[in-house]
Structure 1
Amino acid sequence: MSDSQRFPVAAHALAYLAHKGAISPAQAVPSAILAASIPTNPVVVRRVTALLAKAGLIATRPGASGGAWLLHEPQDISLETVLRAVNGCAHLGSPPAGAKGCPVSEHIPRQVAKALTAADQAAGQALSKITIADLLDQDPASLAAFAPHASCPVAA
């Protein structure tokens, strides 16, 4: 799974768990069900849910009666927390080391790394105002000023 898939898959999975009221092991949602909702492969879902579990956002149980459930209320899970759980803005990449002796190559990686930090901080600040509960709302105030991103497919 590419880094750029982790955040959307994680947000979708958490929203689905919230929608289904999966707040205890009794309501655990299997990875195959989550995968069908996204839609993606259950292996992708299991990789993402492992990261979400490590961050303490969900719990999981393996096996035939296994699945995932929320450990927090949807209104208490910010998308910034989700982003950090799946390793931040890693999909923006990292600068190559640069060639010794080249004044540009020795300087640019440090500056690009700072730009990536700026982008990561800006994304975190914007996403801190949006929760999983907002994703389930038809027109939440936190997203009212925005249209879907042009590169994202939107269901009609």
Structure 2
Amino acid sequence: MSDSQRFPVAAHALAYMAHKGAFGPAQAAPSALLASSIPTNPVVVRRVTALLAKAGLIATRPGATGGSWLLRQPESITLDEVLKAVNGCAHLGSPPAGAKGCPVGEHIPRQVAKALTAADEAATAALGKITIADLLDKDPASLAGFAPHGACPVAA
């Protein structure tokens, strides 16, 4: 799975667990069920849930009766925590090395790297204001005034 897909899969899986009331082993959401909602392969879901479990956001139980459940209330899980849990960042790319001896080539990569850091910090700050519970709300205050991103497919 590409790095750029881990965060959306993780946010979706957490929101689904919250929606289904998966707050303990008895309500565990199996990876196949999560995968059918996303939709993706259950293996992709298991890779992401392993990262979420390592971060302490969920617990998992393997096997035929296994699945995942939330360890915290959805109102207390912010999207910046989710991004960090799946080792994500804004994914705006990385600057090329630049040509030695070129005044632009030697200077610009460092400045572009700083700009990428600024963008990543801004994304983290924005995501820190949005919770898993907000994703389930029809019109949460944290997302007021925003339209879906033009590059993202949106279900009708």
Match of 2:153 in 1: 153
Residue 50 of structure 2 corresponds to which residue in structure 1?
A: 50
> What amino acid sits opposite 1:106 in the alignment?
E
The aligned amino acid for 1:112 is: V
Given that 2:56 and 2:71 are in contact with CA atoms closer than 8 Å, whether structure 1 keeps it comes out as yes
Percent of matched pairs sharing the same residue: 84
CA distance in 2, matches of 1:86, 1:47: 10
Note the C-alpha offset of 1:88: 2.8
Kept in 2: contact 1:22–1:69 (CA 8 A): yes
Q: CA deviation at 1:65?
A: 1.2
Equivalent residue runs for 1:105-116 within 5 Å: 105-116=105-116
- Match of residue 117 from structure 2: 117
Alignment-mate amino acid for residue 115 of structure 2: A
1:90 Cα deviation after fit: 5.5
CA distance in 1, matches of 2:155, 2:93: 29
Residue 81 (structure 2) pairs with residue 75 (structure 1): no
Q: Which runs of 5+ in 2 are unaligned?
A: none
SS of 2:13 mapped into structure 1: helix
TM-score normalised by the chain length of structure 2:
0.94
Whole-angstrom CA distance in 2 between matches of 1:97 and 1:46: 36
RMSD over equivalenced CA pairs, Å: 1.3
Query: Is contact 2:3–2:88 with CA below 8 Å preserved after alignment?
Result: no
Question: Match for 1:126: what amino acid?
Answer: A
1:4 corresponds in structure 2 to 4
User: How many Å separate the matches in 2 of 1:31 and 1:76?
Assistant: 23
2:91 match: secondary structure: helix
State the TM-score, normalizing by the size of structure 1.
0.94
Unaligned runs of 5+ in 1: none
C-alpha distance in 2 between matches for 1:96 and 1:147: 32
The one-letter code sitting in structure 1 at the alignment partner of 2:45 is V
Answer yes or no: is the 8 Å Cα contact 1:29–1:67 preserved in 2: yes
Distance 1:90 1:140 in 2: 22
Q: CA–CA distance in 2 between the matches of 1:66 and 1:92?
A: 36
Count of residues paired in the alignment: 156
